[in-house]
Amino acid sequence: MRAATRAPVSVRKLEGGSVAPLVFVALALAVLGADLWAGPYYVKLLTRAMIVALAALALDLLVGLAGLVSLGHAAFVGIGAYAVGILAEHGITSGWIQWPVALVASAAAAAVIGALSLRTRGVHFIMITLAFAQMLYFAANSLSRYGGDDGLTIWNRSDFGGIVSLADRRTFAWLCFVLLLSVYVALARLSASRFGRVLRGAKDNERRMAALGFAVTRFRLVAFVISGTVAGLAGVLLANLTEFVAPAYMSWHRSGELLAMVVLGGMGSLYGAILGAFAFVLLEELLSRFTTHWALLFGPFLVLVVLVGRGGIAGLLARLGRIR
């Protein structure tokens, strides 16, 4: 018998290796630097990027690890945000109530949408997740009690008593940092775990996995619920950051952008999704200074990254590392 030591091929590709810690160190320095020298605007920009990265991370669990392309993930961000907004509208501002309600609501929605969507495969899966997201988008539009298509202003951020004050921009930024880091670590563990291995196996060859005795759909559903819940958490944070929630949070443009971030970062490398989200948010910010038609420039850029840098930003970094 030999000692099994080397990580298997398929895991090695997914693990952040030495890059992921660097990403988080750089991010921490950026938040620190923005706070010290650049001012509140940039702290808020970085906070938004971290929240978007959390949503992209959630989607990458499905797309990269499980091979399930969802084009409706903004729906779960929206559900998390609306849960906060609606509760606040009714005077319930305690985060101890808002956050669990929001997470349970997005998990429940993901369980229902997942159970129905996972009956389909490939393009049909893409279409049906999109269809569900559109349904929720229009449902939110019709919520006239909660602002309808104008959206809903949130007058107070979630209240956690004296423990953390989200009203403080610096505290809020670091809270987002800690949550992003925790979720990243948890999902990286998950991806190398037995559960993650089943997801990867089913992505590789679903028929074989069934013939081995795996009820593949059950595993995918659990992944879908985890992913929807994390996206819901991003929604909770987003509502708190913008102090506002609107149907536009759930529009298919938002879902498409999340997918673009995952592809941009390099599918299946979790830290890649974070890089993709940052590249997206920061480029959007930069380009929109020069032109209102920033999307015109962004489209070709995306095409370029996908064509030239197979494996996205993470793939590029990995290849640079190898050359060196």
Contacts of 24 by beta carbon, 8 Å cutoff, 6+ apart: 181, 184
Which of these, 267, 250, 249, lies nearest to 306 by C-alpha position?
Answer: 267
Cβ 321 to another protein, closest distance in Å?
20
Q: Using the rule CB under 8 A, is 324 a contact of another protein?
A: no
Cβ proximity to another protein: between 29 and 186 the closer is 186
Binding piece for another protein, criterion CB under 8 A, among 115-123, 199-207, 229-237, 295-303? 199-207
Answer for which of 119, 208, 293, 310 binds another protein (CB under 8 A) is 208
Give the range of 73-81, 138-146, 174-182, 187-195 binding another protein by CB under 8 A: 187-195
Query: How many angstroms from the chain centroid is the CA of residue 191?
Result: 16
The residue among 205 and 291 lying less far from another protein, judged by its C-beta, is 205
By CB under 8 A, the residues from 155 to 184 that bind another protein are none
Residue type, 275: L
DSSP H/E element including 212: helix 206-212
* Token pair in block for residue 34: 């923005």
Is 111 near another protein (CB under 8 A)? no
Question: DSSP of 246-306, one letter per residue?
Answer: -GGGGSHHHHHHHHHHHHHH-TT-HHHHHHHHHHHHHHHHHHHHH-TTHHHHHHHHHHHHH
**Phi, psi (5° rounding) for residue 109?**
-60, -40
Binds another protein (CB under 8 A): choice among 10, 94, 165, 288: 10
Between 3 and 123, CB nearer to another protein? 3
On whether the CB atoms of residues 55 and 77 are closer than 8 A, the answer is yes
Residue 27: CB minimum distance to another protein, A? 24
Using CB under 8 A as the binding rule, whether residue 4 contacts another protein is answered as yes
Q: Near another protein by CB under 8 A, which window of 201-209, 234-242, 254-262, 294-302?
A: 201-209
CA–CA separation, 233 and 100 (whole Å): 9
Least distance between another protein and beta carbon 150 (Å): 41
List the interface residues with another protein, window 216-255 (CB under 8 A).
216, 219, 222
What's CA 254's distance to the chain center, in Å? Answer: 11
Backbone angles phi, psi at 272, to 5 degrees: -60, -40
Interaction between residue 17 and another protein (CB under 8 A): no
Binding of another protein at residue 62 (CB under 8 A)? no
Least distance to another protein from the beta carbon of 133, Å?
Answer: 26
Whole-number Å distance between alpha carbons of 147 and 140: 9
Contact with another protein (CB under 8 A): which of 189, 253, 310, 319? 189
Rounded CA gap, 248 and 74, in Å? Answer: 9
Q: Does 36 bind another protein (CB under 8 A)?
A: no
Is residue 8 within the footprint of another protein (CB under 8 A)?
A: yes
Cβ-based nearer residue to another protein, 193 or 291:
193
Rounded Cα–Cα distance for residues 15 and 25 (Å): 17
Q: Could you tell me how many residues of this chain bind another protein (CB under 8 A)?
A: 36
**Residue 11 in contact with another protein, rule: CB under 8 A:** yes
Tokens 């991003």 -> residue: 234
Q: Is residue 193 within the footprint of another protein (CB under 8 A)?
A: yes
Q: Which is nearer to another protein, 157 or 200 (CB)?
A: 200
Residue 115 as a binder of another protein (CB under 8 A): the answer is no
Q: How far apart are the first and last CA of the chain?
A: 36
DSSP string, 159-174: B-TTS-BTTSHHHHHH
Which residues sit at the interface with another protein, rule CB under 8 A?
Answer: 1-11, 189-190, 192-198, 200-201, 204-205, 207-216, 219, 222
